Structure 1
Amino acid sequence: MKKLIIIPAFNESVNIANTVKEIEKKAPEFDYVVINDCSKDSTLDVLKEKHINYINLPVNLGIGGAVQTGYKYAFENGYDVAVQVDGDGQHNPAFLDKLCDALVNDNADMVIGSRFIENEGFQSTFMRRVGIMYFTKIIHWLTKATITDPTSGFRMANRKVIEMFAKDYPRDYPEPESVVCLLKNNFKVVEVPVQMKARQGGESSIKLWDSVYYMIKVSLAIFVECSRKHKENK
């Protein structure tokens, strides 16, 4: 299979070279592309200096737009599998084979790397864990599926999902909304236990107020997604 790692990056000059180095060391069978989301720091300079494969966005599209750019790249270049690995060093590429095995052996459309099945490694901050539990409950209420780590960006998709997300993908904080979209369209989503690390450098772009906004906005987006699917089925 042709396998691609999508690495969205915004102001990740401190982390991006080490992230790519870890991928090349631990997952050499995967191709990769960094989506530089119009970073304001020296991320682009690092990508050029280290001869890293990248796409440079001329304007900031946000995480959803950056990841969708990666899916478009994967679809247009004939990849069978695409996996998101964040540029901040939190996702361990040593677990990529585990995700790929689940994708094939479980006949899944998407596999999510979850921190909360075995509760090992970095578990995120308390407030974010509260938010994750909140989205787990909403998703279960709407779809009857239990997704323990719905905000995880460490996720692998097959060709069908690549094609779908290349055409349409949530723009802001897309992880929970995209999971609901897949479940409501009868795609198979499974989780496997992984261990994540704390951010390896720099600062998260999501602050306390952003977290409150995130929960409200994504909740509304999830309900709209469910409503849209219900209308399409009538």
Structure 2
Amino acid sequence: MSGAPKPGLSAAPAAAQAPALTLPPAEAEALGAAYGAAEVILEYGSGGSTALAAAMPGKRIFSVESDAAWAAGLGAWFAANPGASPVTLHHADIGPTKDWGHPVNAAAFRRWPLYALSVWDREDFVHPDVVFVDGRFRAACFLTTLFRITRPVTLLWDDYADRPAYHEMEDFAPRTGLIGRMAIFDLTPAPIPADRLGQILQTYLRPL
């Protein structure tokens, strides 16, 4: 889920109203500029940012969502309100979820790595130009992007500035900018460092 709060497990976008983009103005402007410059957009977390992307012509959009009810509601909203560009909503099944697509408990933890990884293995997946990280498993989404890309990509990571646990990812790739609470990374393809494998694997089990 991205850009719009969900009050409960079954919350979904209203059919008559677009999901709201709730980023602060500077972050919203940066996201809009990045989306405008891209042809292929990958989002981790769906909502207001997805509607923003869909309103732009000439885009290919993949949006990952862990909350099945939210994904279904957003899909119904786009079916009733088609944008200028098509959206592929990818439900990453990590087990039952609660607010903000967070796992209810750890019963399905074996599926958690699929949140970051599975969209890249879709037959219709197209290499992104920009990645927006605003859902669950954010550090894992960052690492997946870093290790799966085959050319440079811009990654925007919301809620980064005030969460020190995220900052350890700068050991893998340096941050190139900070706009309010949002970090900007200009990523280039990188191999998986063998001596960091334990840390990397643990990252895929961190829902935050």
Answer whether TM exceeds 0.5 for this pair.
no
TM-score, with length taken from structure 2: 0.40
TM-score, with length taken from structure 1: 0.37
Select the structure of larger CA radius of gyration. Answer: 1
- Larger helix percent: 1
Structure showing greater relative contact order (alpha-carbon pairs closer than 8 Å, 6 or more residues apart)? 1
